[in-house]
Amino acid sequence: MTDSFDIPSFIQKWRSASGGEKQNSALFLLELTDALGVPRPQPASHDNRDNSYIYERAVRSEEGGGKTSARWIDLYKRGCFVCEVKKIDARKTLKSFDVAMLAAKEQADRYIRSIPSSEGRPPFLMVVDVGNVIALYSEFSRTGGTYVEFPHPSSYRIKLDDLAIPEIADRLRQVWLDPLSLNPATRAAKVTREIATTLAQLAKSLEAAGHNAGGVAQFLMRCLFTMFSEDVGLLPKGKFTNL
């Protein structure tokens, strides 16, 4: 790991990148890992069992009639992601840009389905437009389902300047280091456990102060419902919280 290439300098350098996909893709990914502070890819070997985190990971795709052909994943990290890198013409319209990004996503999905089942499907699929956008897709069941926009259709594309936002940089960092921690089901279960613990402690403290258990339970339920009402806009924002 290295911190010799920080995120602000990475953004500044790549904002004006104008070279093609072949010239820039490997360098962009290498410097992205440095900026995020995650390990760099490893040297490749002849045995794919050892190629758990490499550039240009080879896979065999079915061509019909029993024939297969070799394809290469731009960047692969076993158990984490498959990454397809493009350099899309900046002159494209928004619609044609979307079409190009979708085609790259479908290409990466085909590569994922060509990975030996013994390695398992990665939870993330990434599409990178060098110097412009990183699009994230997830499939946490890892059972052959469809990769969908992560974390949400309105926020799955990370623009280059967005990397300066700590929350977004950390999200991308976890795709490298601990992708399953980003599973909403896992996070919801963790938050639920934390809330249940907090409420139990609060209830005990109120009962210890002399309030009966039934009254405490009713009070807390009303508080939760009122906070929910505030969150979804049934009450003016901050009205109950400030009270």
Bridge partners of 57, per DSSP, are 73
Assigned token pair, 104:
């790259």
Q: Which two tokens stand for residue 130?
A: 């060098």
Structure tokens at 147: 């990769």
SS3 content of the chain, % helix, strand, coil (to 5): 50, 20, 30
Share of the chain above pLDDT 90, in %: 67
Banded pLDDT at 130 (limits 50, 70, 90) = very high
Q: Contact 25/56 with Cβ under 8 angstroms?
A: no
Q: Would you state the pLDDT for residue 64?
A: 67
* Domain locations along the chain: 7-179, 186-242
Q: What does 2-28 look like in DSSP terms, one character per residue?
A: --SS-HHHHHHHHTT--S-HHHHHHHH
Decide: 116 and 125 in contact? Cβ < 8 Å: no
Q: Note the pLDDT of residue 3.
A: 43
Q: What's the average model confidence in pLDDT over 79-90? A: 93
Taking the model in full, what pTM does it have? 0.76
* pLDDT tens sequence across 146-195: 999 999 999 999 999 999 999 999 999 999 999 999 998 877 677 778 88
Q: Are 161 and 135 in contact (CB under 8 A)?
A: no
DSSP sequence for 154-223: TT-EEEGGGGGSHHHHHHHHHHHH-GGGG-HHHHHHHHHHHHHHHHHHHHHHHHHTT--HHHHHHHHHHH
User: Is residue 95 over pLDDT 90?
Assistant: no
Q: Give the tokens for residue 131.
A: 């110097």
